Amino acid sequence: MSFKDWNTRELVVAAVLAVVVGVIFWGWGLLWSSAFQAVPFPASYSLVGLWMLGGLLVPYVVRRPGAALFGELVAAFVSMAMGNQWGILTMASGLVQGVGSEAVFACYRWRRFGFPTLYLAAALAGALSILLDTFVYGYYAAYTWSSIGVAAILCVISSVVLGGVLAWLLGEALARTGALSGLAIGAGRVKKV
């Protein structure tokens, strides 16, 4: 990952967004280990899409190569550093999810950030996430392949809805404030007063 083409403002905005998303991840992890424990596998995978947010919001706002991977890794690190039940495996999830998102943005040469691209990035991040979980957490031994398949479908849908749609909503809301006027997402937008 190279930041040579990034300006200081892009780096600062990416870092701030990723840290905020990391705090959200940490809070979501608290819910996962408490209230969400009542949701059985595979239905629990309808709730994992929020963990794709770092690899979606940061590139949607910053629009630079490496932004998805940076956003997801920093967010994962923050949630791990704040303390969660997964420890260092949080970084493995962040890496896989960030690579999934980054791969889609790379396919479009970091020039398209609309609905289709954002949702494809969310879907691939989710698909890679459930693949990692299946082997790291031993789902292949604990569950049937059909239930893992249902979890995968739910994970992809959740990633698009909780990750992709939320990234778009947050990005657009931030852009409307005018605070992102110096970034690609804010180009041509005028704050209405």
Res 185: pLDDT: 87
In DSSP notation, 1-58 reads ---TT--HHHHHHHHHHHHHHHHHHHHHHHHHTTGGGGS-TTGGGGSGGGGGTHHHHH
**pLDDT tens digits for range 58-74:** 999 999 999 999 999 99
Mapped onto helix, strand or coil, the DSSP state of residue 106 is helix
Taking the C-alpha atoms of residue 133 and residue 191, their distance in angstroms, rounded to an integer, is 43
Whole-number percent of the chain with pLDDT over 90: 86
Res 193: pLDDT: 46
Indicate if the pLDDT at residue 192 is higher than 60.
no
Q: Kindly indicate the confidence band of residue 178, based on its pLDDT and cuts at 50, 70 and 90.
A: confident
Taking the C-alpha atoms of residue 138 and residue 127, their distance in angstroms, rounded to an integer, is 16
Q: Kindly indicate the confidence band of residue 162, based on its pLDDT and cuts at 50, 70 and 90.
A: very high
Query: Which of 179, 193, 171, 175 lies closest to 68 in space, CA to CA?
Result: 171
Quick one: which H or E segment has residue 75? Answer: helix 67-82
Res 1: pLDDT: 63
Query: Which of 97, 111, 19, 20 lies closest to 65 in space, CA to CA?
Result: 111
Res 179: pLDDT: 84
Work out the mean pLDDT of the chain and round it to a whole number: 93
Res 189: pLDDT: 54
Residues 58-84, buried b or exposed e (16+ Cβ, 10 A)?
bbbbbbbbbbbbbbbbbbbbbbbeeeb
Question: Averaged over 140-162, what is the pLDDT?
Answer: 97
Question: Averaged over 136-150, what is the pLDDT?
Answer: 96
DSSP state of 161: I
Question: Averaged over 157-173, what is the pLDDT?
Answer: 96
Taking the C-alpha atoms of residue 64 and residue 171, their distance in angstroms, rounded to an integer, is 15
> Is the pTM value of this prediction over 0.85?
yes
**pLDDT tens digits for range 51-60:** 999 999 999 9
More confident residue, 186 or 75: 75
Res 128: pLDDT: 98
